[in-house]
Amino acid sequence: MNEFVTKLEELIALGEKYLVPTYRRLPVAFVKGAGCWLEDSLGRKYLDFLSGIAVNNLGYAHPKFVAALKDQIEKLIHTSNLYQIEPQARLAEILIKHSFPGKVFFSNSGAEANEAAIKLVRKWGQPQGRSKIITALQSFHGRTLTTISATGQPKYQKSFTPLTPGFAYVPYDNLTALGEAIDKETAAVMLEVVQGEGGYNIPHSDYLRMVRQLCNERGVLLVLDEVQTGIGRTGKLFAYEHTGITPDVMTLAKGLGNGVPIGATVVAEAYADVLQPGDHAATFGGNFLSSRAALTTIEIILSENLCALAASRGEYLLKGLKRETEGLPIIKDIKGLGLMVRLELNVPGQQVVDACLERGLILNCIQGNVLRFIPPLIVTNDEIDQALAILKPVLEGVRPDET
Ligand code: PLP
């Protein structure tokens, strides 16, 4: 039996010795959680406004989620996609019933969900000589070689050339540039509904509706990457619901399994049979454990009305952030959609993240100066007040020239 009682300094040394150093880890080891709270190995409690990067939408140790996983683990974890898997089929059914008519392919991560979408688009486009996929600058679609090629941020690509060919990038939220980029070799446009790692960029309200129209006119597919925006995060089960359109392909991961790895590629009816036996597969994709986790997550989100809750808590958080930071010279911009909220600073943000962590609030910074606030969807107004009470003095203590 593993007991995991290593002292923090020893744990840090162990990781430095044996783990490939792809992450800059903070010196904290969380050992358990409940609701929106995490506890570290020294017994300190933290309010979590990061949710494992938009993953733990139900918070920690949700009783119904834990009970379902325990039940599943005792029965079956994995058999393979050579056989029937009831929770996988039920999960596909609930996803389709709450999105658009079609079918679902399951994998294990956001990158893989996008990889499947890209393969589907390529297979669909091949007979027409269409292979190009247009994505946005500042986008993020994953870390496999093909998904960094889809990602419109050179910093993720520069050490790994040659990239997968066939991607073109246009400025986000710019319809003219997109219209000019689509040509007869274009198979699809692939976008996030709100850009995640690129800085929580929220487009104009009619952007995606116009993109949909453009795609229809030019005969190209629209792929929406909802890996970060999906599963209630923006106050709707899927963020495209804010726009009045539906995509041809939608990708999901992160919040889908509430911490159990699972990715999904949701394909509209007209394209649902493009991928045929032998075209694509994932050994673990949608196995008993991950699909039961995702099915239970969605059932809880629906039965506890967590989308509506995320919308109202998001409003409360946004208002609170604006009120508590009013007049502070280091604040550049505050915006949000549901519980996907950004606070842009005109100084580096990591100092704020570190100071908040010391005071018991977990936050994260993207693009160097954008703080993101993505608590579990179950966060209460009281917990939002507690987070603001920690954040305010930290922000007040940052000098504009302290960079
Ligand atoms: N797409 C988006 C929009 C994301 O935000 C992410 C991860 O941050 C990914 C894809 C990649 O997901 P994963 O890390 O699960 O491969």
Mean pLDDT of the region 220-239: 98
pLDDT tens for 39-92 read: 999 999 999 999 999 999 999 999 999 999 999 999 999 999 999 999 999 999
Q: What are phi and psi of 241, to 5 degrees?
A: -65, -20
- Beta strands across the sheet bearing 30-34: 30-34, 37-40, 45-48, 361-362
Q: Please give the class, per CATH, of domain 65-303.
A: alpha beta
Q: Is 196 in the pocket of ligand 1 (CB under 6 A)?
A: yes
pLDDT above 60 for 113: yes
DSSP 224-258: EE-TTTTTTTTSSSSGGGGTT---SEEEE-GGGGT
CB of 225 shorter than 6 A to ligand 1: yes
- pLDDT band (50, 70, 90) for residue 400: confident
Contact (Cβ atoms closer than 8 angstroms) between residue 225 and residue 150: no
Q: What is the pLDDT of residue 4?
A: 67
In the residue annotation, 225 being an active-site residue is answered as: yes
**Ligand 1 pocket: which of 118, 227, 256, 260 to mutate (most atoms within 8 A of CB):** 227
The ranges assigned to domains in the chain are 65-303, 308-396
Within 8 A by CB and 6+ apart from 382, the residues are none
Amino acid at 387: A
CATH of domain 308-396: 3.90.1150.10
Cα(142) to ligand 1 centroid in Å equals 5
* pTM, full prediction: 0.97
Position 402 pLDDT exceeds 80: no
Tell me what the mean pLDDT of segment 234-253 comes to.
98
Q: Decide which of 1 and 43 is more confident.
A: 43
Angle at 256 between CA 266 and CA 49, to 5 degrees: 135
191 C-alpha to ligand 1 centroid (Å): 12
Tell me how far apart the alpha carbons of residues 365 and 210 are, in angstroms, rounded to a whole number: 31
**How confident is the model over 354-372, as pLDDT tens digits?**
999 999 999 999 999 999 9
Q: How many residues does the chain have?
A: 403
What is the per-residue pLDDT for 129?
98
288 flagged as catalytic: no
Q: What is the Å distance from ligand 1's center to 127 Cα?
A: 30
Residue ID of nearest Cα to ligand 1 atom 5: 228
Q: Residue 175: which of 216, 143, 203 has the closest Cα?
A: 203
Reported as a single tens digit per residue, the pLDDT across 338-350 is 999 999 999 999 9
Report CA(111)–ligand 1 centroid distance (Å): 6
Distance 140 CA to ligand 1 centre (A): 7
Q: Is 110 in the pocket of ligand 1 (CB under 6 A)?
A: yes
Cβ 253 under 6 angstroms from ligand 1: yes
Atom of ligand 1 nearest to the CA of 143: 16
The pLDDT tens digits for 249-286 are 999 999 999 999 999 999 999 999 999 999 999 999 99
Q: Is 224 touching ligand 1 by the criterion CB < 6 Å?
A: no
